[in-house]
Every structure is written in C-alpha cells, then in structure tokens.
Amino acid sequence: MKKVLFVASEALPFVSSGGLADVIGSLPKELVKNGCDTRVVLPLYSSIKDEYRSRMTYLGNINVPLSWRNQYCGIFTLVHDGVTFYFIDNEYYFKRQMLYGNFDDGERYAFFCKAVLEIMPIINFFPDILHAHDWQSALSVIYLKLHYSGDPRYNFIKAMFTIHNIEYQGIYGVGIMGDVFELSPWERKIVDWNGDINLMKGAIECCDILSTVSPRYAEEIRRPEFAHSLDPIIRDKAYKTRGVLNGIDTEYYNPSKDTSIYKTYSYKSLAGKAQDKAALQKSLALPEKPDTPIIAMITRLTAHKGLDLVVRVIDEILGDDVQFILLGTGDRDYEDFFRSLEYRHHDKVRSIIKYDKDLSKQIYAGADLFLMPSKSEPCGLAQMIASVYGTVPIVREVGGLYDSIKSYNEFTGEGNGFSFSSFNAHDMMYTVRRAVGFYRDREFWNGFVKKIMQIDFSWKVSSLEYIKIYEQL
C-alpha cells in the first residue's frame, strides 16, 4: 500500500481561506478509499475550533531546530472521515489573527516545513511520497532533498509538489536566506529567482513530479501572461509536469443532504430549489420574484477573478430583469464598488462582504446562474459546486474552467454551461444575456438544470490519476 503524506497550510473543515482547503479536505479521503494510506500535516492554528481540538490526541513534543532557533513543536493527531491528520503546535507561530499576511509568514512556514520532516520518527510514518501544496509547503520539499536525503530513513521519499495558484510564490529577500530559511550560500541557486528567494521556484526545482490542478493550467503557466514570472522554469521542467483536474467533495456539497440550505432537493425534482430561491430572496430582502433570474458570484475579490469585467458592464446587465448577489471579501476597491452597486440598485443587488460557508451554500442552492469570468483560474471549484446545486455556470474559457465547463450548443444540445473566450467585458455581457435568454424558456431550462446536476465532479476519476502518478514515482 502506498504511503503518502500531504503537507498543506489549510484544509476543510479545520481552517479555510479558499479552494486549497477544499482540496486538502477532500482528496485524501478519496485516496484512502482507493487503498492509499494518505495522511495530512497542518499547522495547529488557534482558529481551529474546540469541537476538533477536543477530539485530538497529544502524541508528544520535540524541539525543531531552524538556523539558530530551537522551537517547541507539539504534535497532535485526529482521525477525521477516515483520514489521519497531524497538527503542528506552536503558539508563537500559529496563534495569530490572520492565517496569512503576517510579517513573518516566511519564518512561520519554514518552521512548519522543518517540523514536518522532524516529526516523522515520532509519528512513525516515513511516507513513500511527500506531497506538498503551494508555497507555504514548498520548503518541506526543499529540505527533504537538500538536508535529509543523506539519512537512509528519508532517502527513498519521493516529492510531489502541486501548484494550486502560481500567483503566490513565497518571495523573500536574500538577506534572510540563512537566518530564517536555514539555506547556505551554495544552496542559493536552488531558490534564487530574479535575485530574490522564491520558495515555489525552489520546490519546482527539487520535486520529482510537479503538478497543477487542471491540464489547461499546466499548459498556460508555460506562458508569461499566466506564470507571474515563473514561465522559464516551468517550461524547463515541462518533462516532469502534470495537470490533474480537481474534484469536489460531493458529500459536503450535496443539495439532497445539505443541512445549511432551506430545502433539500435533487435532480429528480427541482421544487426544493425553487423554495431555496424564494428563501434566499426573502432572507436578503430582495423582491421575491420566482421568474427573475438570480446571477450569483461567490469569490475572493481579487483582480484575477475577472472582476474588472463585472465592474465595466454590471450596470448595463442590471438594466435587464435580473437580480445579482455577490458574496466575497478581498481588495478594498472591489468591496467598495460592490457596496456602492447595492446602494445604486437596491431592488436588484445584494453585496455581502464577508466569508460565510453556510450562506455560500444557500446562494449556490438559491441562484440560477453562477458567474465566473476569471482572468486566470488554476482549476476553480465554485463552477463545479454551482453545477451540483443546479446553478448554471457562466465562465471564461481559461484554466480549469475550460476543462470543466463546455458552452451550451443549441444545435447539438451539448454543453454544461455558458462560456466566452476573450477577456472582454462585452463578450461576458453577451454571454450572460445569452444564458438569461435560455433561462426564460422554462421548459428547456429545467431540463438543462437537471442535466448539469448529474455531472460527476467528484474525486472519483482524478484521485485515480493521482494514484497513477504516485505509482510512477
């Protein structure tokens, strides 16, 4: 049986800021079901709720050396949904208000990555494959290959590094290379990128297999417009790069069992969905109009989500008989814009500027159309979640959106959403209007919704692809 250790900075249901947490919270479960002994290491953030803490078992503590530091590291464990999680405890690093964005994030995650390697003898688990995710976990791959490979217990461990978003790379000044990252001057070439330390680049260099979260994104990041400066190294490492489309947790996102929504439903009858729509309109104090399409967005408010297109044409779209609901937090300018949009179109728009998992599910259930006009999108989960809740995605053909959503073709009947290609506001508006046009044909629409709800976006297929890669490794 393959032994795999996931290293990540967030996972549902413990701690979450975006899609990475969805993946780390759901893929290991499926791998375990397929006979792969998959375990996960996470930092023990103070924000992790007592309901989980109270179920954890204390395994012991060690001191983790990092450069001149020698830091306490408590080790806790918890089996959740059949998956063993390990938590690295150190209140100095992980008792913080913010998950990321602290001045010393580099040091926090360097400690975490070093701890991952140091705890292996204590937890008595030397994996066949160390599978690290995004820049916060990059140093676990770098340390494994540079500092631990001389030890026979670590020597055979293969490293896989998965990029969930290439935009965040962990870039630091060279001045702290030795002091914080415990890397010596002759190791600089491994992590050096354009004169800075770039942790993601270091992991790309050191890993045995590199992957991204959709086949399309694996190709896109070879190009400068998607790679945030890393395209030369990605092209260089194309021989060891794979793209595996993410799945979603179809137990957690299941409209026939979801306790967060007003009324459960399935593709067999959409009566519940209509009630969810009415309940959503009521709870947000929008006019309760069953035949007015609700266009929803649930997203981090950052530029790569394509919000500039929305800003450009949303007033025009709101000239039609539609309602618009946005749930998101992020850049101040966008937050302000959507607040003012609600103010200007109070009878049609609700902008809810917060992170709220329950409300997000109520919106997935109650809305009719889900807008995702991303400029870049490594995979995107929201379009898949929307689909299983029967909310038709409107997407730009990029990254994982391209891989998961095909535009409806009225001549062949193929397709599971609506899409446009150019990053152009009027192309987006045209596509929204096209979708709304089809929405007005109620008979067609009900059939279409039922069809997309039955698409399998679970991990079934993709988890087998991961297992194939592990076996190759």
Using the rule CB under 6 A, is 360 a contact of ligand ADP? yes
Rule CB under 6 A: is residue 77 a binding residue for ligand ADP? Answer: no
Least distance to ligand ADP, CB of residue 357, Å = 5
CB of 388 to ligand ADP, least distance (A): 12
Query: Shortest gap between Cβ of 332 and ligand ADP (angstroms)?
Result: 15
Is 328 a residue that touches ligand ADP (CB under 6 A)? yes
Report which DSSP code applies to 193: E
424 is a site residue for ligand ADP (CB under 6 A): no
Q: Does 187 bind ligand ADP (CB under 6 A)?
A: no
Task: Spell out, one character per residue from 269 to 308, where the chain touches ligand ADP: x when CB under 6 A holds, - when not.
Answer: -----------------------------xxx--------
DSSP string, 136-182: GGHHHHHHIIIIITTSHHHHT-EEEEEES-TT---EE-GGGTTTTT-
Is 335 an interacting residue with respect to ligand ADP (CB under 6 A)? no
Nearest residue to ligand ADP by CB is 19
Cβ 298 to ligand ADP shortest distance, Å: 5
Of the pair 360, 419, the CB lying nearest ligand ADP is at: 360
Contact region for ligand ADP (CB under 6 A) — 83-91, 255-263, 268-276, 379-387?
379-387
Separation between Cα atoms, residue 17 and residue 300, nearest integer Å: 9
Which C-beta is closer to ligand ADP: that of 167 or that of 187?
167
Q: Count of residues binding ligand ADP (CB under 6 A)?
A: 18
* Beta carbons within 8 Å of 20's beta carbon, 6+ residues apart: 8, 9, 10, 133, 134, 164, 165
Q: Which of 382, 395, 398, 429 binds ligand ADP (CB under 6 A)?
A: 382
Cβ contacts of 327 within 8 Å, gap of 6 or more: 296, 297, 298, 299, 352, 354, 356, 359, 360, 363
Is residue 244 at the binding interface for ligand ADP, with CB under 6 A as the rule? no
Using the rule CB under 6 A, is 366 a contact of ligand ADP?
A: no
Q: Torsions phi, psi of 236, nearest 5?
A: -60, -35
Buried-exposed string 441-452: b where 16+ CB fall within 10 A, e elsewhere = eeeebeebbebb
Is 22 near ligand ADP (CB under 6 A)? yes
Residue with Cβ nearer ligand ADP (354 or 442): 354
Q: Which is nearer to ligand ADP, 325 or 382 (CB)?
A: 382
Among residues 433, 396, 408, the alpha carbon closest in space to that of 295 is found at: 433
A 10 A CB-CB count for 440 gives 11
The 3-state secondary structure of 429-465 reads HHHHHHHHHHHCCHHHHHHHHHHHHCCCCCCHHHHHH
Return the closest-CA partner of residue 205 out of 197, 195, 213, 216: 197
Residue 171: φ, ψ to 5°: -105, 130
SS3 content of the chain, % helix, strand, coil (to 5): 40, 20, 35
Rounded least distance, CB 449 to ligand ADP, Å = 19
Is 331 a binding residue for ligand ADP by CB under 6 A? The answer is no
Selected range binding ligand ADP among 118-126, 174-182, 259-267, 355-363, rule: CB under 6 A: 355-363
Q: Which stretches of the chain bind ligand ADP, using CB under 6 A? A: 18-19, 22, 298-300, 327-329, 355-357, 360, 379-382, 385
